[in-house]
Amino acid sequence: MWLDHSQRVLFLLAATSGIAACAHSSEVLTPGEVGRSGSSQFSAPRDEVFYATVGALKLEGYDVATADVEKGVIVTKPKLVRASGEATGDARLAPAQLAQFQRRYRVTVSTEKGGTRVVAEPFLAQGDRDISKEKVWDLEGPDGEKVKWHNLFDGIESAFRPASIERARSLSKKDLEGMEKAP
């Protein structure tokens, strides 16, 4: 069976995640979907939401590459999410090639009427190649983007529970000291 590149990527993602995936479960992630499902509104001040977002990203296992409070932009470092071998099918040839998949976020935090809006745009790469615009996203599955967004926004919200506010603010400010600003 011959698979095109995006089908191989989907197959490798499904095989390494342990989730059975069908061809119809992969989608292109549109800006509209990011705007609908990848954004959330918070009633706290913008700077507090910004620092809470940095903390929530760290809780989700992301290191922050750049964070600019003034611009309201946070970019995470790529995080390895999948690695798998692709067999050649012929034992006489080179051994399996390792395919690495990394994801990162670009998050914007902005003031809007009634509060602060956070938009978390995910990016996916296979090795050095950005495949974010391809048909490789699972939106609805148990480990899909909607679940990931929910977990991130829940992490942000949890920072505004009374005991967490000062702790999150002080940790996030300390973490951001000396970090370069977003481009």
**Tally of domains in the chain:** 1
State what percent of residues in the chain have pLDDT above 70.
66
Report pTM: 0.71
pLDDT at 91 > cutoff 50: yes
Q: Is residue 112 part of a domain?
A: yes
Q: 82, 102 in Cβ contact below 8 A?
A: no
Q: Is residue 8 part of a domain?
A: no
Tokens of 149: 């967004």
CATH number, domain containing residue 45: 3.30.530.50
Q: Which range among 7-16, 32-41, 59-68, 91-100 shows the weakest confidence by mean pLDDT?
A: 7-16
Q: 48, 167 in Cβ contact below 8 A?
A: no
Where in the sequence is the domain holding 114, given as residue range(s)?
29-79+102-176
Per-residue model confidence as pLDDT tens digits over 134-167: 999 989 988 899 999 999 999 999 888 765 555 6
Q: Is residue 96 part of a domain?
A: no
Cα–Cα distance, 64 to 179 (Å, whole number) = 9
Q: Is residue 85 part of a domain?
A: no
- What is the DSSP-derived secondary structure letter of residue 19? -
At residue 168, the pLDDT reads: 56
